[in-house]
Amino acid sequence: MNGSFRSRRRKPEPEPIPLDGSATITSLRACPDDPARVSIRVNRQRVGRILIETKAHHQLEVGSVWDEALDTALRVELDRGNAYRAAIRILTKRAKSSGELQRKLREYHYEPDAIDWCVERLTELRVLNDEEYARMVVRSQLSRKPAGRRLLSGKLREKGIDSHLIERILDEMLEDRDTIADARKLAQQAARTISDRHDREVRKRRITARLARRGFDFDVIKRVVGELDLG
């Protein structure tokens, strides 16, 4: 084995912080990226961030006892803050709908209340905007190749977009598109890629299947496939 190879070991899970009064706050530091909050460490373990006003209200300082009563009093704020920072990290990597973000945060086992609060807060700040996101998804799909309403609707449902919003967005974005022309274009492209060594019925079935996968309705598919000159 190459001597330079090093196996990656998972970091051990930190020990739970005792709530019997034996734990103390070991660090209270201002957050450079959020001047309104301070970061707390208890027994040298990071527990999260709280507002400066919360710190003052509870008269917290290094050496303060961290017991069950204090943990309970601060838990909602800590959970929300931790979930919020996780949400920002997720959205920094890639845009998501509110539904996708909720699913991702649930995978990380954040509290339901904290997740709901994050989504509401990020929506208020317009960091999350399902309408703009849905339009982006539709534009992306249509820029690749023609697509029918059924495929677009399915893609948006997978992204966690509300069904009423899906219908409204598709009504608006497909209003000026010629569905027959889109399907015809895709059918012609498909016909060129299928070898003429196959008989006419085989080619028709394959073109039909390709249009169906792109979400076109059967009546539209039947019409445009029937127009093709397949020899």
Q: Is residue 13 part of a domain?
A: no
Confidence bin at 12 (pLDDT 50/70/90): low
List, for residues 141-181, the tens digit of each pLDDT value.
Answer: 999 889 999 999 999 999 999 999 999 999 999 999 999 99
Query: Taking the CB of residue 210, how many other CB atoms lie within 10 A of it?
Result: 20
Confidence bin at 4 (pLDDT 50/70/90): very low
In terms of domains, do 85 and 106 share one? yes
Q: What is the reported pTM?
A: 0.77
Does position 68 have pLDDT exceeding 70, yes or no? yes
What is the per-residue pLDDT for 231? 59
Does position 203 have pLDDT exceeding 90, yes or no? no
Longest distance between any two alpha carbons in the chain, whole Å? 86
In terms of domains, do 105 and 42 share one? yes
Average pLDDT for residues 90-117, to the nearest whole number?
Answer: 96
Q: Which domain holds residue 91?
A: 20-124
Does position 228 have pLDDT exceeding 90, yes or no? no
Judged by phi (left if over 0) then psi (alpha if -120 to 50, else beta), residue 21 lies in left
Strands (E), 4-150: 20-31, 34-42, 45-51, 65-67
In terms of domains, do 58 and 89 share one? yes
Q: Is residue 9 part of a domain?
A: no
Smallest CA-to-CA distance from 78 within 27, 122, 113, 119 is with 113
Average pLDDT for residues 91-100, to the nearest whole number?
Answer: 96
List, for residues 35-47, the tens digit of each pLDDT value.
Answer: 999 999 999 999 9
In terms of domains, do 41 and 112 share one? yes
Confidence bin at 194 (pLDDT 50/70/90): confident
Mean pLDDT of the chain: 91
In terms of domains, do 163 and 201 share one? no
What distance in Å separates the CA atoms of residue 138 and residue 215, rounded to the nearest whole number? 13
Does position 15 have pLDDT exceeding 90, yes or no? no
Percent of the chain residues past pLDDT 90, beyond the cut: 80
Structurally, how many domains does the chain consist of? 3
